[in-house]
C-alpha cells in the first residue's frame, strides 16, 4: 500500500477517531479489509499510539488546572535526555513531555485540581529530581484551540441592522 493512503487514513483518524472503518474505506475508495489491515499495522508500528477524546473541561463542573513547565536539565553522558524524560513521564500528573530547543530542555504539560496542587508537584517531585537545574511554570488561563479544534464558541453579532 502506498504512503499516501496511510497518510489519508491518519488524517481522517486524527480528525475523527470514532469513524467506522467501513466508512473510512468508502471515503478513501478502498475495501474495508485493506483499511483494517493498514490500521492494525500502524498500531503495531506505534504510528497510531492511541485514540483520544478531546474534552473542553471548562464546560464541565470539574476543576482542572493545566500548566506548562519549562525544565532545564543536565543531560547524562551516554543517554542524553531520554532517561530523565522517561522518569518525568511516569508521574501521574504529567500529560505530555517534549524535548525542546531554546533556553529550556523539556516542556512538561501537567494537570492538577488547583494551582496549589501544581505548585506542590513542581516543588516536591519535579524540581527535586537529580539533573533538574531549574523550572519555569506557566498556568493556562483559557484554551482557545486544542489539538486543532476551536474550543471557544463564536459570539453572534446581535446588533440590529440599520439601513439608511
Per-residue pLDDT of the chain (164 residues; tens, 9 = 90+): 455 889 999 989 988 889 999 999 999 999 999 999 999 999 999 999 888 887 777 778 888 999 999 999 998 788 789 999 999 999 999 999 999 999 999 999 999 999 999 999 999 999 999 899 999 999 999 889 887 888 887 777 677 777 76
Other Cβ atoms closer than 10 A to 88: 21
> Model pTM?
0.75
Question: Counting every residue, how long is the chain?
Answer: 164
- Residue 2 confidence (pLDDT): 52
- Residue 100 confidence (pLDDT): 95
Tell me the C-alpha distance between 145 and 49, whole Å: 22
- Residue 86 confidence (pLDDT): 94
- Residue 16 confidence (pLDDT): 87
Sequence-ordered list of residues with C-beta below 8 angstroms from that of 84, at least 6 positions apart, any chain: 73, 75, 76, 106, 129, 131, 132
- Residue 3 confidence (pLDDT): 55
- Residue 135 confidence (pLDDT): 96
Q: Where is 120: in which H helix or E strand?
A: helix 115-121
Tell me the C-alpha distance between 27 and 9, whole Å: 10
Long-range contacts of range 11-18, CB-CB < 8 Å, 24 or more positions apart?
13/39, 13/48, 13/51, 14/148, 15/148, 17/51, 17/52, 17/53, 18/51
- Residue 157 confidence (pLDDT): 67
- Residue 154 confidence (pLDDT): 73
Amino acid at each position: 500500500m502506498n504512503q499516501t493512503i496511510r497518510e489519508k487514513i491518519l488524517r481522517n483518524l486524527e480528525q475523527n477517531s470514532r469513524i467506522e472503518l467501513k466508512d473510512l474505506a468508502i471515503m478513501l475508495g478502498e475495501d474495508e479489509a485493506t483499511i483494517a489491515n493498514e490500521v492494525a499495522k500502524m498500531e503495531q508500528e506505534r504510528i497510531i499510539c492511541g485514540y483520544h477524546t478531546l474534552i473542553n473541561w471548562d464546560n464541565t463542573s470539574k476543576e482542572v488546572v493545566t500548566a506548562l513547565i519549562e525544565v532545564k536539565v543536565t543531560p547524562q553522558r551516554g543517554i542524553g535526555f531520554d532517561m530523565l524524560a522517561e522518569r518525568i513521564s511516569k508521574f501521574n500528573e504529567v500529560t505530555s513531555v517534549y524535548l525542546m530547543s531554546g533556553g529550556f530542555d523539556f516542556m512538561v504539560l501537567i494537570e492538577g485540581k488547583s494551582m496549589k496542587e501544581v505548585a506542590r508537584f513542581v516543588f516536591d517531585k519535579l524540581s527535586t529530581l537529580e539533573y533538574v537545574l531549574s523550572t519555569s511554570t506557566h498556568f493556562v488561563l483559557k484554551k482557545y484551540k486544542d489539538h486543532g479544534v476551536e474550543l471557544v464558541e463564536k459570539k453572534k453579532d446581535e446588533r440590529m441592522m440599520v439601513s439608511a
